[in-house]
Structure 1
Amino acid sequence: MATIKDIADVAGVSLATVSRVINNGPKVGDATRERVKKVMEELGYRPNANARALVTRKSASLGVVIAELLDPFFATLAHGIDAVARRQNVQILMSAGSIEKQTELKAIDTLLQHRCEAMVVHSKALDDKTLVEFASQVPGFVLINRYIEEIGHRCVWLDNVAGGQIMARYMLSQGHQKFALVSSKYQIDDPFQRLTGIQKELADAGIELPDSHIEYSTPDQEGGEIAIRNLLARGVEFTAVLAYNDAMASGAMTMLQDHGVTIPADVSIMGYDDVLLAKYCRPKLTTLHYPIEMMASKAADLALAYAGGKVPEPGVTFKYTPTLVKRESVVAVKAP
């Protein structure tokens, strides 16, 4: 990775000049400033937030990277962070990563440019090595909804494998043996981990989940509708649907009802996340409660504490487990 010295050598200026450009300081001509910035961009230089804080002596802002601004799940996440920021009188700077590598990278870089010493980052597209590198640069760098062993003390994460097991176990307790799974098509850990938990629990019960019973689509209501339409078109028989999240469950429910299927009398359906939508489906959606607001608050507290000088304890991790919320969309399977 490029250093300030590399920038100075290539641009033909002093270290002090590079430092002034990085920190928007005075006594640098426009032409020199532009030359230094161009070299920084060409070399892919990312300022070290900790070093800049020492130079500027400015208190930290709390930077937040989430996937989507409009998603109710991420609105709840942001609310948990905001509560901590208000309590500690810290300004929040928020950016969206859109589950795309370059967008996530740009979002984090933007926060660095705004001198954020503390960050809560929801990243699904960037590789582990890049995130570990950021953690070494930014004193208050904390990941949410992801676990990387090397920086486990900076990770606030959910046990999605356990979540999948809880879903399958509850449906099995209601006598269901014919399952369909509506999952996210995005190549990220969460859907894979939930599927792993579901398959493990079903296998332990002697039930196989064929690939033809799994449909992948976008993790929203339209995706849920499309997934169920495809399952029905293939003639897949099922009495229970396990959905990647509440939005997909809601869409799946609508499509089934449009085809004359009564929920839960004919088909039981279960979601994941327990967002506000789950309470207002008809019937009300049985789901798993994802303690994202609690997790977000913990992540914000950690980020600010680390940025303030607290040293993370090696070996300490912050794992959470989803819990079952029983409502109306799951009942015991009808006897043959």
Structure 2
Amino acid sequence: MATIKDIARVAGVSLATVSRVINNGPKVGDETRARIKEIMKEMGYRPNANARALVNQNSTSIGVVIADLSDPFFATLAHGVEKVARQQNIQVLMSSGSIEAETEFKAIETLLEHRCKAMVVHSKALDDQTLIDFASQVPGFILINRYIEAIADKCVWVDNVTGGRLMAEHLVSLGHKKLVMVASKHQIDDPLARLDGIRQYLKQNNIELAENAIEYSTPDQEGGEIAMQNLLAKGIEFTAVLAYNDAMASGAMSMLQDHNLRVPEDISIIGYDDVLLARYCRPKLTTIKYPIELMATRAAELALSFNAQNAETKASTTYKYTPTLIKRDSVSKL
């Protein structure tokens, strides 16, 4: 069966343009609209009329789109939404986007099919315009962990650049200058912003983080292990490790210990997120607290509020959160 991605590819347009045609939205020329409809007909694509109609119906549920159901970070996000839903006696419907544009699009459509007019969406792969379109069609559409200026009032996000700076500042303040990093391989805004913050602070203090001192892998424990193994194989001299998140930090720590390197006596390591795992590592992990549960709670409240009121939003409103340093036992003074 043809998908919206197939239609966009054949038509040579974006997912957002196809979405606007499916939902009878504006900003599509008559010729383009007719061509896309013809392609849809030829390829047997069947837009879900139910989903398009649902924006005018009442809802007794709130939807959540997350990237990975198995990731503790997203479990914490979901828990924040669930707390609000439980207080208001409504159902939570969960869908996974897997950081893939088509999967994220389908996840949002699935929530619409289940009568969700309020939803908290974690989307990293969909383009800005597609998300703007959804926000205009769905009263309670709230984007979490991403900022788009055109829908700033519907975005709940964190300052990852500041988080990266905090990581570097803490290590440098304790005398560490020979640094390496285990980084996420995903070219999305979170890892890019954190690395940008790290580099900003190091540059201001005349410290280099060479490209070969950064290893990219999957943002999980196995990825942390693999990235650290590669760094050790390069023979780079370092005293501290910056990790994209706590899962990668945990995997990197395990690999260091497998090589008889003590944390923090021989090598210090700092993570990011402050998920439950950070408190139960040995040693306990120094990390940057990403207030995701607090953000998710706020996002859920906004989604339900906008849905109930069908409110006109104000572009001047912003919901930016700031990460903070959590000191534990995995970093020591050089």
Partner of 2:101: 101
Q: Distance in 2 between matches of 1:325 and 1:287?
A: 5
User: Where in structure 1 are there 5+ consecutive unaligned residues?
Assistant: 7-37
3-state SS in 2 of match to 1:308: helix
Is this contact kept in 2: 1:2–1:43, CA < 8 A?
no
User: Where in structure 2 are there 5+ consecutive unaligned residues?
Assistant: 1-19, 26-39
Structure 1 pair 271–5 and aligned structure 2 pair: CA distance change class (3 A): closer
Q: Which amino acid aligns with 1:108?
A: I
Partner of 2:330: 329
Partner of 2:214: 214
Partner of 1:23: none
Is this contact kept in 2: 1:49–1:139, CA < 8 A?
no
Show CA shifts across 1:47-96 (max 9, x none).
Answer: 59785353xx4334211101111111111111100010111122111101
Show CA shifts across 1:95-130 (max 9, x none).
Answer: 011111111111001111112111100001111111
Q: Distance in 2 between matches of 1:276 and 1:103?
A: 28
Q: CA RMSD in A?
A: 2.0
Is this contact kept in 2: 1:48–1:137, CA < 8 A?
no
1:137-152 map, 5 Å? 137-152=137-152
Is this contact kept in 2: 1:49–1:116, CA < 8 A?
no
Does residue 67 in structure 1 map to residue 67 in structure 2? Answer: yes
> What's the CA shift for 1:203?
0.4
Partner of 2:3: none
Q: Distance in 2 between matches of 1:188 and 1:308?
A: 32
Partner of 1:248: 248
Structure 1 pair 70–324 and aligned structure 2 pair: CA distance change class (3 A): same
Partner of 2:77: 77
Partner of 1:28: none
Is this contact kept in 1: 2:228–2:256, CA < 8 A?
yes
> What's the CA shift for 1:229?
0.7
Relative to the length of structure 2, the TM-score reads 0.85
Q: Distance in 2 between matches of 1:240 and 1:129?
A: 40
Is this contact kept in 1: 2:23–2:52, CA < 8 A?
no
Structure 1 pair 159–44 and aligned structure 2 pair: CA distance change class (3 A): farther
Is this contact kept in 2: 1:50–1:117, CA < 8 A?
no
Q: Distance in 1 between matches of 2:131 and 2:175?
A: 44
Show CA shifts across 1:233-272 (max 9, x none).
Answer: 1111110100000010011011111111111111100000
Larger Rg: 1
Show CA shifts across 1:256-292 (max 9, x none).
Answer: 1111111111110000011111111111100011111
Q: Which amino acid aligns with 2:21?
A: A
Choose 159-168 or 93-102, whichever is displaced more.
Answer: 93-102
> What's the CA shift for 1:145?
0.5
Q: Which amino acid aligns with 2:329?
A: E
Is this contact kept in 2: 1:117–1:140, CA < 8 A?
yes
Structure 1 pair 239–117 and aligned structure 2 pair: CA distance change class (3 A): same
Relative to the length of structure 1, the TM-score reads 0.85
Q: Distance in 1 between matches of 2:168 and 2:24?
A: 56
Q: Distance in 1 between matches of 2:178 and 2:111?
A: 48
Q: Distance in 1 between matches of 2:122 and 2:48?
A: 19
Is this contact kept in 2: 1:50–1:138, CA < 8 A?
no
Partner of 2:130: 130
Is this contact kept in 2: 1:272–1:289, CA < 8 A?
yes
Partner of 1:227: 227
Q: Distance in 1 between matches of 2:166 and 2:58?
A: 46
3-state SS in 1 of match to 2:255: helix
> What's the CA shift for 1:318?
0.4
Q: Which amino acid aligns with 1:330?
A: V
